[in-house]
Amino acid sequence: MTPFMDRNFLLKTQTARKLYNEYAAKMPIIDYHCHIDPMEIYEDRRYENITQLWLGADHYKWRAMRSCGVAECYITGDAAPEEKFQKWAETIPDLIGNPLYHWTHLELQRYFGIEEPLNGDNAMEIYRRCNETLKRPDMTARGLIRKSHVRLICTTDDPADDLRAHELLAADPSASVVVLPAFRPDKAMRADKPDFPDYVAKLEQVVGYSIDTAADMRRALSDRIAYFADHGCCVSDHGLDFCFCVEADEEELDAAFAAAKAGRKITAQQQLAYHTAMLIAVGKEYAKRDWVLQLHFGCLRNPSDTMFRKLGPDTGYDCINDAPNAAGLCGLLNALEKAGALGKTIVYSLNPSDNAAVGSIIGAFQTDSQIPGKIQQGSAWWFNDHKLGMEAQMTSLMSLGAMGHFNGMLTDSRSFLSYTRHEYFRRILCNLFGQLVEDGEYPADWNTLGKMVENISYYNTLHYFGFDKWLK
């Protein structure tokens, strides 16, 4: 019997163990997409207890607790921290095969030195031990970043953000990690949302002029992109329900914008046309600055009206959208390319059924030989960042593309303990490569294999995003 989550966890062959222990394990982390609050890094936040650190904003755990019949008061409600932790611990044994089981125990091992499995019986003892550890001087936000060997973080920031926390961090010589903003203009793109008029008013205050037409919005986004660039930004991120490309003339765009700004409902076709026009506009700005465009799609958000009214967005009630994406993605990439706006682009689908389509589509747009892997398939994301999901995504990418240029893992988390997901990914990566070698499908060329593992773990991201200038 293989021991529970020992040093060879997920590494089934000697080749896999050599690749992980001698190459992957030593590599630093670049967290190029996350939802951490940069002010918490600047203020070097200290957490009062493990519940606050672990359960405070983790909708992955919230979903699991609900699936096990835990009452909402122990999840997002006003139950005491120790009560919430107890309920989480009681949930854990039922999560066999769920990545949360592995992540939970990796975090307990790496940050708290706790090797025994968590359950309802030992919950209060582990709660006490974790809280004692959190009192140590090195267990603050910055301390956890240092422990995780993180060298650079890109947060997620709205065009209207003032980036004050980034300015403070940039001026702080004691900050050991580079923290850069990432441009996430979804609210400016969704003219069909009820809060769009309020958002436009907010953006008008930031840019200092009225936004009355589609051209005005293009100008506002361009101005904010320049502002973000001045603060070191070199990556954007866009969330799409599904992929699309709907073209319209300027008169149609202005009519849709005027209606939306006035709070009137616009048609789905008008929204898609407006969204397409804005994506092409910002794509041009990104391309001329050599920014990376990230496209995350395939999510169906807030399907439960009852829980959306009760708790709001981002509370664990989203799901995978199975809308067709291949034609829409091809149309969008083609429109960007024709407009001279298709720069470095990473494509992520939340639907694992899209893996092969995405892998073949990115190969159809590799039109700049000077940038290896210019159009990338992103790592297994959200509902797919488990063992089977990562294996499926990487196996598909290996089958259809050039795995050696893959940018590897992102954290996509709000927690400072989630960096163990990079270890999880690297172990799965090395196990995949190790099996290919053991099966005689790739030579035991340690120089080539080792360098490839190091590249996927760190160097590909460093060079692709242009982080070299920050991490010399």
Per-residue model confidence as pLDDT tens digits over 429-446: 999 999 999 999 999 999
Q: What percent of the chain has pLDDT above 90?
A: 95
Q: How far is CA 318 from CA 210, 313, 394, in A?
A: 35, 9, 24
Alpha helices in 43-122 (DSSP H): 50-55, 59-67, 81-91, 99-112
H or E segment at 238? strand 235-240
Helix (H, G, I), strand (E, B) or coil at 26: coil
Neighbours of 142 (CB within 10 A): 22
pLDDT in tens, 321-378: 999 999 999 999 999 999 999 999 999 999 999 999 999 999 999 987 688 999 999 9
Q: Which long-range contacts (CB under 8 A, 24 or more apart) does 109-113 make?
A: 109/5, 110/147, 110/420, 110/423, 111/139, 111/144, 111/147, 111/417
Q: How confident is the model at residue 189 (pLDDT cuts 50, 70, 90)?
A: very high
pLDDT in tens, 247-268: 999 999 999 999 999 999 999 9
Query: Which residues contact residue 80 at a Cβ distance below 8 angstroms, ignoring those fewer than 6 apart?
Result: none
Q: How confident is the model at residue 236 (pLDDT cuts 50, 70, 90)?
A: very high
In 3D space, the residue among 210, 188, 225, 467 whose CA is nearest the CA of residue 341 turns out to be: 225
Distance between CA atoms of residues 202 and 165, nearest Å: 19
pLDDT in tens, 370-421: 889 999 999 999 999 999 999 999 999 999 999 999 999 999 988 999 999 9
Say if residues 430 and 401 touch (Cβ distance below 8 Å): no
